[in-house]
Structure formats: structure tokens, C-alpha cells
Amino acid sequence: MQLFVGLGNPGSKYAATRHNIGFMALDRIAGDHGFAPWRSKFQGQLTEGRLGGEKVLLLKPETFMNLSGQSVGEAMRFYKLTPADITVFHDELDLAPGKVRVKQGGGHAGHNGLRSLHGHIGEDYTRVRLGIGHPGRKDLVSHYVLHDFAKADQDWLEDVLHGLSDGAPHLAAGDSAKFLNALALRTSPPRSSTSKPKAGTKTPEPEPAPEPDTRNAMQRLMDKFR
């Protein structure tokens, strides 16, 4: 059994903010893969289902971001899991919008949700770092992450969420390369080598092949001087 955790803040006020992209990721996975209805448990919202051959729990802590570790710690102890069984989806200021990276262990880099997790379960869990970009100045960070995604962000955000859902079974199976590949097919699809003509456009007919030259060598030489 595995536990996927999405970080965010509870309530409609924060639902569309950059800080809540972790919640958005779990909502998309749950909806696309037929998970059970969400229920209140472990100071959060919990659901369960299967991703490929793996049983997976999805948890959205409702303790607010700074106390996320309380909820995750309760769930981990109840199901007798280890940090190695836990994957956390969270916003990442140090990645450009739409970029996603998978990381095993490491520091919290000042992220308050990860800081809380470190205090309750340690650092040996997997992180799915969801790039939201940086506002440019440290004093603008708080306002930036608690502000809704801009309209201009909606296209890449939808592609990322779809890609996360597509790749979730690979992530549950422990194959981060296939997970990231499934994501890339959504965010950077390969260009087709052929292009179809637009509707109403007449396709030009191919030019006829030239007729074979049946002249003998003497005739070709004489024709050059005419």
C-alpha cells in the first residue's frame, strides 16, 4: 500500500491558488481513476483506490499547509507505513511553471508544508515537485503562492494535471521515468511528421513525369546547334 499526499490549504478561498496545486493533482487522479468518495479522516480528506496493480491512498491534509505533517503522520502510523511508502505532491517555486521533477529525500528548501512533514515523518519520502515559478522577490512569495493561478496559466496547468493522472500508475509502480514520460506526452507532445491540408484547401496535383528522350546521340548533338 502507498500513500499519495497533496499539499494545500482547505476551503474555497484557497482552492484555485498556486499553493494548492498538490490538492488539484490528487483531485484529478481520484476522478480519472475511479477512486472512492472522499471522507474525513486523519485531519484531512482521504480516499482509496488502485493505480495499476497498486493499492493507493490519497490524502489532502486539512490542517493548513504549515501543519501538514500532523495529518500525514497520523495516516502513516495507522496504516503502518514508512516514509518510503509516501509520495508528496507540492508546489515548487524553484521550477518554471509547468515543469515537474521527482525527488527522493532531501531538505525542505523553506517550504512550510515540507518543513512540517520533516518534523513528523522525517525526510525519506518521495516528492513530486510541481513548478509554479517565482515572483522574482522574496517579499512577494507569500502573496504569490496564495493567489489564484492566472488565466494565462490555465492551458499548461490542465496539461500538467492530465499528465500527472496519466502517469500516476507508473509512479505507484516505482517507475519515475515512465511517469515523467507520460507527463511529457501531455505537456510537450511530439510534432507529427506529416500535416493534413486544411478543410476546403485543394491539394495540388503532382506534375507529370517528363517523357523519355528517344533521340540518338547524333540527333541530340544537332539539336544543340539549332
Q: Which residues of the chain have pLDDT under 70?
A: 191-226
Query: What is the tens place of the pLDDT at every residue in 40-51?
Result: 999 999 999 999
CB 180 within 8 A of CB 167: yes
Which pLDDT value is given to residue 216?
66
CB 79 within 8 A of CB 57: yes
Q: How far apart are CA 4 and CA 76, in angstroms?
A: 11
Mean pLDDT rounded to a whole number for the chain? 90
Query: What three-state secondary structure class fits 61?
Result: strand
Sign of CA dihedral 160, 163, 167, 172: positive
19 has catalytic annotation: yes
Q: Which of 19, 90, 111, 170 is catalytic?
A: 19
Query: In the chain, what are the domains?
Result: 2-187 (3.40.50.1470)
Query: What three-state secondary structure class fits 46?
Result: strand
pTM of the model: 0.83
Q: How far apart are CA 130 and CA 128, in angstroms?
A: 6
Q: How far apart are CA 114 and CA 162, in angstroms?
A: 24
Which pLDDT value is given to residue 220?
62
Which pLDDT value is given to residue 139?
95
